[in-house]
Structure 1
Amino acid sequence: MTATENADDTLPDTHSTRVEALSRATTRLRFDPFVDIDWDAPENALDKRDPRWLLDPEIAPLAATKWYAEQPLQRRIDMGRWITANTFKVGIQFEMLLIRGVGHYAAKLSNSDPVFRYLMHEITDETNHIQMFQEFINRNGQDVPGMRRISRVVGPIFAFISGYLRVMLFLGVLCGEQPVHFQQTLLQRRASQIPPLLNKITFIHLAEEARHITFADDHLEQRIEQSGRIKRATYAILFPLFLRWLMGEIFTPPRTFAREFGMPRRAFKAAYWRSAHSRRMMAESAADARRVAENLGIRTVWTRWIWRVLGIDGRVPRFRGEPNRVDERSTDGWLAEIRTATWGRVAAAAIMTTVAFVATPVGPRITLFAAAGAAVWAIYHVLRERRGGVVANQPFEWPRFIVWVAVCVMMVPVGGLIGLALVVLMILALADFMPTL
């Protein structure tokens, strides 16, 4: 096997080494839901009156609505049990789609490809997860449908086709697994406040899905960096669309839920995803997926508007599962401060331009050169991002800083201190509108 991709399914040695390491890790530590979970233990009994089934507003947008708060305690407990079971049912259906696509893809790999062994390990894990989720649903006693009917019909077709489209297959894997991983990480952070059986199930699922996400991330990195411009543009457009579709299936219960619990249509729409709280939750749930897209270079300045339109744009975490350290209750005020600072900088640049025109006879020249310098900095920023050199929330970036300093130094002989102040204010005002600052 060579260091470059000579054959269609031959990957670089570094990737093969990581795949083999993941296979060994899977062999050393794996879970069997009927061995590692004592389903009949008293503490694992599913008590239909346990208040720990109540939904948390930080995890379920429904819990933040006035309608939910007005319901009787037992009804809220039943809704929590129903939504938990339905989320597991969606997980079953998604992992069945994944098994179809992965099995189809693995069947075409060469005999010596280490990816084949790992994918078989992953299929084994997924079948265990399916049995674990189904056992929970059966013991819970509520008949939940899972995905919406259209997704249950169209999903298997997409899964079959994805066997021919390797990159799209693993993009779909990430789009489905990353939001679930984020949600279950939040559950694990409050493990003492949820039923023990739910805690055990999410622990096992998180531990094994972390390996699956790592493989898909690394596998896509190898494939996408070898793709042409048209393919990369296609992936950049389809990734947020897939992500939003699967997030809707994972986090939004079907209409069956509203009919069973008599939930008004207006309250349902407010909870999913019309209210400010639910929109923030949607954007935050996509944080890990945004990190992956940034690392793969398919969340570009040209496609970021798709993320914003779909309501899944926002911060980019430094690592998987990084908590949002901005208090959600102060988010609106924080955004207002950003808008105030932005327009304050624009106003400062406009005032300094007026000073240049009034205080010096060469005001137009100073303004023109300052605008040209700010444009040089902005063009460098955009070109560097297109080449994949910009990390979305990187705290400091030396190349961009050096360009900034160079522009300022060249401005001094042209416009003196007024010109220097003007170009700095212009760059600062422009920086607030640059997509990765």
Structure 2
Amino acid sequence: MARVLRPKDREVTAERLLDSSVRNSYQPDLDVDWDAPLVAGKIFLPEERVSLYGTELWERLTPEERIELAKHEIGSITSVGLWTEILLMQLLARYASDLDPRNPHTHYALTEIGDETRHAIMFGKGIARLGLPAYGPPRIVRKLAKLFGAVIDGPAMFASVLVVEETTDRLQRSMLDNDDVQPFIRMINRIHVVEEARHVRYAREELVRGLESLSRPMLELHRLVTAVVAYTIVDIMVNPGVYTAVGLDPRQAREVARDNPHHHETKRWMAEKIVEFLGEVGMIGGPSKRFWRKAHLL
């Protein structure tokens, strides 16, 4: 970042974010019409963002099957997002426990936990409303995440949070004004985009502050942790089980998706803004950069 963030900037930012939280927050139970019927012919995800788009398998699917696959893929992405929201709550609670409870910075951390709680419930209700499985991440990732959550802190924690939040945010923003997308999906996206903007501001500033005191060896460690998280998150967003919903072999379809240049471009596009930011502040570089390339994010 071009400027150095002074200690008092932390409280100034927190005050502004707290004020915004009062003025611009939603209640998903009330603001989403959970009983509204889905609109016939409306999509759940733009075709070009579906993992098999442009492949021979995609060409074999009927228009109805393509819509169905897109529905399951947005359900899978949402399931992973829900899971990461819960992890984030745990990380923030641990982070806030070491802060001064009198300060606005602490108050905003607790406010964000409240936001994430509502988001997780909203995502869960959305998945149920669409009649989809709770795909989520594979078991091994769930187990490793428990270890990750117990030890990660500082810049790697905030950078990892930003990778998750900003990749999904870009996908959601792209659908806000797309009239072809189900209104139900667009409203959930709108709520999440508005409230996540505050979370991103908070995390970006804390990341920059944390980097100011890092030694070179510790910087490389935080870079590595962040790169592994980024690689993992973009890899697990689409659960292979989604392909079964349209009669495809999940293993074959997953391999096709992994080799699909259109899917690679979608991953890069989703992560473009956060990759640019992390590069600017020095969180991408050194040996760990290969993980970003392998994930098709560079």
Normalised to the residue count of structure 2, the TM-score between the two structures is 0.90
1:144 Cα deviation from its structure 2 partner: 3.0
Structure 2 counterpart of 1:296:
281
Matched, 1:46 2:41: no
Q: Secondary structure at the match of 1:248?
A: helix
The amino acid that maps onto 2:120 is I
1:55 Cα deviation from its structure 2 partner: 4.5
1:54 Cα deviation from its structure 2 partner: 6.0
Q: Conserved in 2, the CA contact under 8 Å of 1:54 and 1:80?
A: yes
Match of residue 31, structure 1, among 26, 40, 45: 26
For 1:303 and 1:38, locate their aligned partners in 2 and report how far apart those are by CA, in whole Å.
44
Structure 2 counterpart of 1:239:
226
For 1:82 and 1:36, locate their aligned partners in 2 and report how far apart those are by CA, in whole Å.
24
Q: Conserved in 2, the CA contact under 8 Å of 1:125 and 1:208?
A: yes
- Can you list the C-alpha shifts for 1:369-396, whole angstroms capped at 9, x where unaligned? xxxxxxxxxxxxxxxxxxxxxxxxxxxx
Q: Secondary structure at the match of 1:58?
A: helix
For 1:134 and 1:241, locate their aligned partners in 2 and report how far apart those are by CA, in whole Å.
26
Q: 1:310 to 1:39 in 2, by over 3 A?
A: closer
Q: Conserved in 1, the CA contact under 8 Å of 2:83 and 2:136?
A: yes
1:22 Cα deviation from its structure 2 partner: 1.0
Q: Conserved in 1, the CA contact under 8 Å of 2:46 and 2:181?
A: no
1:128 Cα deviation from its structure 2 partner: 0.8
For 1:239 and 1:153, locate their aligned partners in 2 and report how far apart those are by CA, in whole Å.
18
Matched, 1:21 2:16: yes
Greater shift, 301-310 or 113-122, is seen at: 301-310
For 2:270 and 2:15, locate their aligned partners in 1 and report how far apart those are by CA, in whole Å.
31
Q: Conserved in 2, the CA contact under 8 Å of 1:57 and 1:64?
A: no
Q: Secondary structure at the match of 1:285?
A: helix
Q: 1:58 to 1:257 in 2, by over 3 A?
A: closer
Q: Identity over aligned residues, as a percent?
A: 23
1:51 Cα deviation from its structure 2 partner: 2.4
For 1:275 and 1:295, locate their aligned partners in 2 and report how far apart those are by CA, in whole Å.
29
- Can you list the C-alpha shifts for 1:393-432, whole angstroms capped at 9, x where unaligned? xxxxxxxxxxxxxxxxxxxxxxxxxxxxxxxxxxxxxxxx
The amino acid that maps onto 1:31 is Y
Matches within 5 A, 1:328-367: none
Structure 2 counterpart of 1:12:
7
Q: Conserved in 2, the CA contact under 8 Å of 1:68 and 1:76?
A: yes
Matches within 5 A, 1:219-230: 219-230=206-217
1:189 Cα deviation from its structure 2 partner: 4.3
For 2:22 and 2:44, locate their aligned partners in 1 and report how far apart those are by CA, in whole Å.
37
1:242 Cα deviation from its structure 2 partner: 1.3
Greater shift, 241-250 or 63-72, is seen at: 63-72
Q: 1:305 to 1:39 in 2, by over 3 A?
A: closer
1:239 Cα deviation from its structure 2 partner: 2.1
For 1:295 and 1:98, locate their aligned partners in 2 and report how far apart those are by CA, in whole Å.
24
Structure 2 counterpart of 1:73:
63
Q: Conserved in 1, the CA contact under 8 Å of 2:163 and 2:274?
A: yes
Matches within 5 A, 1:112-127: 112-127=102-117
Matches within 5 A, 1:178-327: 178-190=166-178, 192-250=179-237, 252=238, 254-264=239-249, 265-271=251-257, 273-300=258-285, 304-313=289-298
For 1:149 and 1:261, locate their aligned partners in 2 and report how far apart those are by CA, in whole Å.
24
Q: Conserved in 2, the CA contact under 8 Å of 1:15 and 1:222?
A: no
Q: 1:196 to 1:189 in 2, by over 3 A?
A: closer
For 1:55 and 1:127, locate their aligned partners in 2 and report how far apart those are by CA, in whole Å.
24
Runs of at least 5 residues in structure 1 that lack an aligned partner in the other structure: 6-10, 314-437
Structure 2 counterpart of 1:62:
52
Q: 1:248 to 1:238 in 2, by over 3 A?
A: same
The amino acid that maps onto 1:178 is E
Q: 1:172 to 1:299 in 2, by over 3 A?
A: closer
For 2:295 and 2:71, locate their aligned partners in 1 and report how far apart those are by CA, in whole Å.
29
1:66 Cα deviation from its structure 2 partner: 2.5
Q: Conserved in 1, the CA contact under 8 Å of 2:75 and 2:135?
A: no
Matched, 1:147 2:134: no
Q: Conserved in 2, the CA contact under 8 Å of 1:56 and 1:63?
A: no
For 2:290 and 2:68, locate their aligned partners in 1 and report how far apart those are by CA, in whole Å.
39
Q: Conserved in 2, the CA contact under 8 Å of 1:82 and 1:144?
A: no
Normalised to the residue count of structure 1, the TM-score between the two structures is 0.63
1:306 Cα deviation from its structure 2 partner: 4.2
1:285 Cα deviation from its structure 2 partner: 2.0
1:237 Cα deviation from its structure 2 partner: 2.7
Q: 1:29 to 1:55 in 2, by over 3 A?
A: closer
Q: Conserved in 2, the CA contact under 8 Å of 1:16 and 1:115?
A: yes
For 1:79 and 1:258, locate their aligned partners in 2 and report how far apart those are by CA, in whole Å.
7
Q: Over aligned residues, Cα RMSD in angstroms?
A: 2.2
Q: Secondary structure at the match of 1:194?
A: coil
Structure 2 counterpart of 1:419:
none
Which is bigger in relative contact order (C-alpha 8 A, separation at least 6)? 2
The amino acid that maps onto 1:198 is I
Q: Secondary structure at the match of 1:172?
A: helix
Q: 1:157 to 1:305 in 2, by over 3 A?
A: closer
Runs of at least 5 residues in structure 2 that lack an aligned partner in the other structure: none
